[in-house]
């Protein structure tokens, strides 16, 4: 294995590692956000609407780093 085959193998491996590790953080973060939002909704059901809105925004922000790693993985596979 040499030259282009090595580069191809390396880029697929890199994309897999990038996405795999990059998905851990957002997963944990969104889990924590969802759990606490459910907690708060169970405590005060009348606040559910505004809590849901805040939860979606917080989810989207926690997801950002996961999206970055997805973009890097896609660039590795299709562009490099």
Partner 1 sequence: MLEQLGKELALRFTVGGVEIAFNLVVVAVAVAVGGILLATASWLTRGLPRDPDAPLTRRAAVLVTVVDVFQNHLLGGVSPRLARQLLPFVATLFFYVLLCNWVGILPLPYIVSPTQDLNVTLGLAFLVYGLTHYYGIRSKGIARHLKGYLEPFPFLLPLNVVGDLGRTLSHGFRLFGNILGGALLTTVAPVVAMQIASLIPAVGVVLGWGARVPLMLLLNAWFGLLMGAIQALVFALLAVAYIQVTAD
Euclidean distance between CA atoms 78 and 40, whole angstroms? 43
3-state secondary structure of 55: helix
Query: Is 24 among the residues that bind partner 1 (CB under 8 A)?
Result: no
Query: Is 27 among the residues that bind partner 1 (CB under 8 A)?
Result: no
Written as six digits, the tokens of 21 are 């590790």
Query: Is 49 among the residues that bind partner 1 (CB under 8 A)?
Result: yes
Query: Is 78 among the residues that bind partner 1 (CB under 8 A)?
Result: yes
Residues 57, 58, 63: CA angle, nearest 5 degrees = 100
Give the interface with partner 1 as residue ranges (CB under 8 A): 49-50, 53, 56-57, 59-60, 63-64, 67-68, 70-71, 74, 78
């Amino acid at each position: 294995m040499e030259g282009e085959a090595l580069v191809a193998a390396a880029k697929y491996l890199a994309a897999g590692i990038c996405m795999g590790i990059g998905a851990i953080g957002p997963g944990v973060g969104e889990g924590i956000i969802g759990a606490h939002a459910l907690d708060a909704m169970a405590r005060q059901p009348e606040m559910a609407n505004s809590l849901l809105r805040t939860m979606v925004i917080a989810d989207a922000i926690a997801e950002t780093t996961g999206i970055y790693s997805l973009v890097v993985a896609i660039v590795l596979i299709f562009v490099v």
